[in-house]
Structure 1
Amino acid sequence: MSHNIFDQGSPAAVFAAVAAGAAMKYMAGFMFPRNRYGYVGRVGQIWVYPFKSFKGHSVQEADCTALGMKWKEFIDRHWTVATANGVYLTQRQEPTMALITPNIMGDQVELTAPGMEPITIPVNPTVTDSNKSKVTIKTDTVDSIDCGDKVADWLCRYFKRTGLRLHYSSPSLEKRDASKAKKPWTHPAKPGDMTAFSDYCGYMVLSNASLADLNKRLENPVPITNFRANIVVDDCEAYAEDSWSSLQIGEAQLRALDACTRCILTTVDQEKGVKDKKEEPLSTLKKYRLKDPYGPKPCFGINFTSDKPGKIRVGDPIYAKLH
């Protein structure tokens, strides 16, 4: 079954798109059987976003772990800001989160933000009875470490809000199981597909060709950072990632879950911390990237989970099995 998503236009345009997609799928199947891996592209960029909705790090190599991309002491989405009632906060509500930069300074993490003095917190604070707390991500409430009053006050002053706290998912604390995620559609996550504070799973994969196709449709092109992908793929066709069921990169193996459905966060300028007034690129994505069973949110990129850990590097060849 084809998993490509085609333009919604005239019958002739739809027919042409379907025919083109079928031809691409046929050629891919001819080049390598669906139950075997074949070359589909190369790792163009690797991104790690240790703090949910803060600025990420573009790195040359990283470890694919069961819980997400790891670089140095940072693991993807293992810190999150939460409101006074313990619910996670993102750029959806506070777009200037994009302007906070975390950097590792020995055994400390330094946070910098416009108009603020830098502040440091431990990279891996010890879990104690006094700092153990709860945080809610989506419909899951899990244990975390409360990172203390000093950084809480710093965040409250930056956002001009009260009651904010910073939470950390220490290695010894419970993680979230993607198989328990509640979605309007049936999703294929299995028990043991774990993550910390990401919305759903450990990895998001997107190709530069897909971004280029989107940008051709936009008055003002957007960078890849609007979509906060972990692995950005080069040397493939636009939306080729829609058809990949599993990936092999070096020793690492990743399994596709479902399409990444996009929200208002994609409209945040990651360098300015403001939402686009015309809600671009989300508005344009809605014109041609809607797909059953995902409803009114457009699909752009694919959610993946880890089946086997391993180090990956920019430039590594990517091999895939097709749906």
Structure 2
Amino acid sequence: MPTLAAIHRYPIKSTAGSSLQRARVEEEGLVGDRRFMVVKPDGTFLTARTHPGLQLVRAQFDGERLTVTHGRLPPVDVARQEFSGQPFETQVWADPFTATTTHDSLDAWFSEAAGEPARLLWLGERSSRYRESIGVRVSFADGYPLLLISEASLEDLNARTDGTHVMAQFRPNLVATGTEPYAEDRWKRIRIGDVTFRIDAPCARCAMVTVDPARGEKRVDKEPLKTLAGYRRGDKGKVYFGQNLVAENSGDISVNDSIQVLEFVR
């Protein structure tokens, strides 16, 4: 039976993730996942697609304090009660919604990290972004609450490319082990721990997977996107790797939990 090999949470969109042994899953995904986002002063979101150095930023948020660190910047630590909390209009792709402001010191810090004027936004206790197409509220994630990839799929990709690519390039929340390559493509509903998930759509990949997370720089050879394009193109010309998930209930999951496949794609 396949099992859950790793859980990854990304407190701030496009910045470095952290590994967890146990996590709470709710409608919006992992609790604490992508609850913050860096934006331009006009609300346009910034990601590692255009600012790969953001992946060198690490964040910790326990619900009360946010701490951010970067190798070339002094750390900043701000209590949630110090957030200004003003409504701020922003947008992720085609979804306009309202988030809230955080603190001037965080805005200044991220302006330095991004190399241009920037602000850090917080979703608050509950996201105001509701995606009718999938029927749930979503965080600052691109489009879905959760992403799953199997270790075997990455191993198969690495066997086709020069060099070694790491899971962090693909930014999954859940990593499966004990499967064949791309077994996740054939799953329709699964259960992990207390939670049942529906596999909603394959994840279309972009140049962000070419960012080396250890250096915060894009690879000049455009890998692994170039190799993926050779064998993972879908009907619409998009390149797919990994599967987007929606939780059907709230509950807890842990590393080494079994992954029970409840339904396969017909």
Fold equivalence (TM over 0.5): yes
- 2:200 alignment counterpart: 257
Q: Are 1:93 and 2:50 an aligned pair?
A: yes
- 1:174 paired with 2:128, answer yes
User: Which residue number in structure 1 is paired with residue 106 of structure 2?
Assistant: 151
CA contact (8 A) 1:51 1:76 kept: yes
> What is the aligned partner in structure 1 of residue 87 from structure 2?
132
Aligned to 2:152: 209
Residue in structure 1 matching 2:78, options 121, 126, 130: 121
Q: Give 1:159 shift.
A: 2.2
Counterpart of 2:247 (choices 300, 303, 306) is: 306
Is the deviation greater in 97-106 or in 110-119?
Answer: 97-106
Letter of the structure 2 residue corresponding to residue 322 of structure 1: F
CA distance in 1, matches of 2:160, 2:110: 37
The residue matched to 1:150 in structure 2 has which SS? helix
SS in 2 for 1:158: helix
Residue identity opposite 1:160 in structure 2: G
Residue 217 of structure 2 is matched in structure 1 by 274
| Other-structure match for 1:34 | none
For 1:322, the equivalent position in structure 2 comes to 264
Give the gaps of 5 or more residues in structure 2. Answer: none
Separation of aligned partners in 1, 2:34 and 2:64: 18
Provide, for residues 241-279 of structure 1, a one-character-per-residue CA deviation record: whole Å limited to 9, x for no partner.
001101101210111111001000000000100000011
Distance 1:168 1:319 in 2: 34
Max radius of gyration: which structure? 1
How many Å apart are 1:102 and its aligned residue? 0.5
Paired residues, number: 264
Preserved CA contact (<8 Å) 2:129 2:137: yes
TM-score, scaled to structure 2: 0.95
Kept after mapping to 1: 8 A contact 2:53/2:113: no
Kept in 2: contact 1:178–1:195 (CA 8 A): no
User: How do 1:27-46 residues align onto structure 2 when only pairs under 5 Å count?
Assistant: 39=1, 41-46=2-7
What is the alpha-carbon distance in structure 2 between the residues aligned to residue 224 and residue 103 of structure 1?
Answer: 20
Q: Deviations over 1:36-73 (max 9, x none)?
A: xxx4x100000011110011011111011111112xxx
1:173 CA drift (Å): 4.9
Higher strand proportion: 2
- Asked whether the equivalents of residues 17 and 58 of structure 2 are also in contact (C-alpha less than 8 Å), the reply is yes
In 1: Cα distance, 2:196 partner to 2:127 partner: 25
Output the amino acid matched with 1:42: T
Distance 1:53 1:84, change over 3 A: same
CA spacing shift, 1:126–1:96, aligned 2, 3 Å: closer
Distance 1:217 1:124 in 2: 50
Letter in 1 for 2:164: P
Q: 1:300 to 1:126 in 2, by over 3 A?
A: same
1:58 counterpart (19, 22, 45): 19
The reply on whether 1:296 has 2:240 as its aligned counterpart is no
The letter of the residue matching 2:60 is: N
Return the alpha-carbon distance in structure 2 between the equivalents of residues 168 and 65 of structure 1.
18
| Cα deviation, residue 123, structure 1 | 4.3
Structure 1: distance between partners of 2:130 and 2:114 = 27
The Cα of 1:176 is off from its aligned counterpart by 2.8
Distance across 1 between alignment mates of 2:22 and 2:189: 20
Contact 1:110–1:119 under 8 Å retained in 2: yes
> Are 2:35 and 1:78 aligned?
yes
2:80 and 2:4 map into 1 onto residues whose CA distance is 28
Change (3 A) 1:124 1:290: farther
Q: 1:125 deviation in Å?
A: 6.1
